[in-house]
Amino acid sequence: LKERLAEFDDSSTCISDAFADKMEAFKHEYNKYVVGQQHAKTLLDKKMKTSAFQHFVKACEADPQCRRQSLSSFLMMPVQQIARYGLMLKGILDTTPEDHPDRAGLTNILTAFNNIMMHVDQQTLVHSRAEELLNAFNEIDDSN
């Protein structure tokens, strides 16, 4: 991509293939992160019920490096960043002329990106429902 930027020409430079080569890996890693992020959020909520952990988290969040961000917000940052990538791709496509050689490629990349987002959203919902079911079973088991 850096090489292409060095020789950038509005009418002929194509970038969609640079994204296309990474889409499957992106789908895998993003899905893995989102599922892990859900586990981390559940664990964080559970651990925040203990005062020692609350004090530890408050001390960490008070550190200037955290820029007044909560631990929960740090867990959400990558998920929010992914949504920004979609908006960036849409912006690139919207400003790409209809006759540009990369128009079709960018359209395909945006479609693939949106499909990945939908897939991960579906997987997140399935995982969330499975976790709710497991929690319900655990509550029933604990009450017996």
**Residue 90, both tokens:** 């849409």
pLDDT at 3 over 80: no
**What pLDDT, in 10s, does the model give residues 32-45?**
888 888 888 888 98
d(CA 130, CA 78): 23
Instruction: Tell me which H or E stretch contains 122.
Output: helix 103-143
d(CA 42, CA 134): 13
pLDDT of amino acid 48: 92
Residues 6+ apart with CB under 8 A from 85: 113
**Residue 56, both tokens:** 């530890």
pLDDT of amino acid 56: 93
pLDDT at 96 over 80: yes
pLDDT of amino acid 83: 81
pLDDT of amino acid 1: 65
pLDDT of amino acid 91: 95
Residue 63 Ramachandran class (φ > 0 left, ψ -120 to 50 alpha, else beta):
beta
